């Protein structure tokens, strides 16, 4: 019995097919990052690919360069300011479009994780839990997750109080305590309810 993602959907909908996924819709800080992956050769795909949430950090970090060697890879993002301007759904779609546009290679179909794909310059199919079904989407989920984690680790150097190298901008107890103590930064998503409430409290104080 086959478990985990395969290339079945890629060949069902039409080759060459790319996979697109994002990381960072839920965090209170930092960008949302999307990745697009188009395999160079369907017979030369790294082993061990799965939805990035199902893999340890060690496995994601090991697979990250292997995917880049075996595929055309595009990465796109929207920062906190763009997320606040257009909301997280539209920012995610824009990040996905930017990732797709990084691929300078013919694409017949784009398989996008979830049920609200962006409008792209090819046939586009939304796949619920696509990162568990499609090897291309699974690879995109790993590229997006590792890229975003690396970005948050770099931001943590300049903002060490918030523990972003550990919590990736999610609203952990550590992050919440730092917000109370040090306030909101330019990298926080001010449209998100917890950050918005904190800003209102500060204005009222």
Q: What span, in angstroms and rounded, lies between the C-alpha atoms of 159 and 152?
A: 10
Structural contact between residues 135 and 11, judged by C-beta atoms closer than 8 angstroms: no
pLDDT at 200: 79
pLDDT at 59: 94
User: Is 74 buried (19+), middle (13-18) or exposed (0-12) by CB count in 10 A?
Assistant: buried
Tokens of 26: 């839920």
Q: What is the DSSP string of 164-195?
A: HHHHTT---HHHHHHHHHH---TTB-TTSHHH
> Domain-by-domain residue ranges, the chain?
8-157
pLDDT at 1: 42
User: The domain 8-157 is classified under which CATH number: 3.40.50.300, 3.90.228.20, 3.30.420.10, 3.40.47.10?
Assistant: 3.30.420.10
Structural contact between residues 37 and 19, judged by C-beta atoms closer than 8 angstroms: yes
pLDDT at 202: 62
pLDDT, mean of each 10-residue run, the chain (205 residues): 81 94 96 97 90 89 96 97 96 97 95 94 94 95 97 96 94 92 93 87 60
Dihedral of CA 119/90/178/184: which sign? Answer: positive
């Amino acid at each position: 019995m086959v478990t985990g993602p395969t290339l079945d959907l890629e060949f069902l909908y039409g080759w060459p097919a790319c996979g697109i996924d994002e990381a960072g819709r839920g965090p209170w800080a930092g960008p949302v990052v999307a990745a697009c992956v188009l395999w160079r050769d369907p017979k030369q795909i790294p082993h061990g690919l799965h939805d990035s949430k199902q893999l340890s950090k060690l496995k994601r970090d090991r697979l990250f360069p292997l995917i880049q060697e075996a595929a055309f890879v595009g990465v796109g993002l929207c920062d906190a300011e763009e997320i606040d301007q257009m909301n997280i759904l539209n920012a995610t779609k824009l990040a996905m479009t930017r990732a797709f546009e990084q691929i300078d290679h013919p694409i017949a179909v784009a398989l996008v994780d979830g049920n609200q794909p962006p409008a792209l310059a090819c046939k586009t199919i939304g796949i619920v839990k696509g990162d568990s079904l499609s090897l291309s989407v699974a690879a995109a989920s790993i590229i997006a997750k590792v890229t975003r984690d690396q970005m948050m680790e770099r931001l943590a150097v300049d903002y060490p109080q918030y523990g972003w190298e550990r919590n990736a901008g999610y609203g952990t107890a550590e992050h919440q305590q730092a917000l109370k103590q040090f306030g909101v930064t330019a990298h926080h998503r001010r449209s998100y309810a917890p950050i918005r409430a904190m800003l209102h409290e500060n204005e009222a104080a």
